Every structure is written in C-alpha cells, then in structure tokens.
Amino acid sequence: MKILVAVLGIRVCLLFPILFLFSCSSPNKKSTANQTEMKENIHKVDTVTINLMKFNPEVLDVTKGDTVIWINKGLVAHTVKSYQPDKFYSDTLQPGQMWKWVMTDSAAYYCTIHPVTMIGKLLLK
C-alpha cells in the first residue's frame, strides 16, 4: 500500500510541472500574436502646426494609415489643399481650429489663401 501511495505521489509531482509548462506556453503564443496584431493596427498621429505663415514641419514623413492633424496656431485663417485635385481640401481653418486627414498616399499641399508662401509635403515611407 505504501508503495502504491509513493508511486501515485511521484506521478502527481511529475504531472504538475508538465501542466505548468503547457499553461505557460499557450499565453506566450497568444501574446506574440497580439503584439503582431497591435503593430498592424497602431498608426501614428502626426501634427503640422500652422504658424507665422508656414506649415511646420514643411516636409513630413508618414506611413500609410497615419493621421495628420493641422493646427492653426496663427493669427489669421488658413486652408490645407492638396495640389492633386480632389485628394483633400480642408475647410477654412480659423485661428485655433484644426483639421485632420488619414494618409493613403504622398501629397504636396498648400494654403489657398497664401499659395505662394505656404507649401507643405507629406512623404509616404
């Protein structure tokens, strides 16, 4: 009888580490999958400040799916319009207002109110 109990005890002792290994390996796989999923779903938010009659930065590197927010911190109204027709065109941004666009492609743009001096570029990486 004592031998039987000892054998059972050894089996139980061996069983727990095996169960522990299985329980640990499963979440690790899930975690790796989640991290990959998160990387695909995370997009940056970039800001272009409009001030002193300029877009700052004038040239911005972006990744497809990134959101670009233009914030008018100047004293007068501005717009954000792509040179390429029908790509994007903000409403008039009064001082303090902002406008955003989700990037799908590279684009050069300008302010329709100050087209000579206010020019910017978004370069898709």
- Footprint on this chain of Cu ion (rule: CB under 5 A): 78, 111, 113-114, 118
With respect to Cu ion, which residue has the nearer C-beta, 54 or 62?
54
CB 122 within 8 A of CB 70: no
With respect to Cu ion, which residue has the nearer C-beta, 50 or 62?
50
Shortest Å, Cβ 125 to Cu ion: 27
One-letter identity of residue 96: G
With respect to Cu ion, which residue has the nearer C-beta, 49 or 124?
49
With respect to Cu ion, which residue has the nearer C-beta, 43 or 56?
56
CB 122 within 8 A of CB 107: yes
CB 100 within 8 A of CB 67: yes
CB 82 within 8 A of CB 88: yes
Shortest Å, Cβ 122 to Cu ion: 17
Shortest Å, Cβ 118 to Cu ion: 5
Cis peptide before 57 (omega within 30 of 0): yes
Shortest Å, Cβ 64 to Cu ion: 27
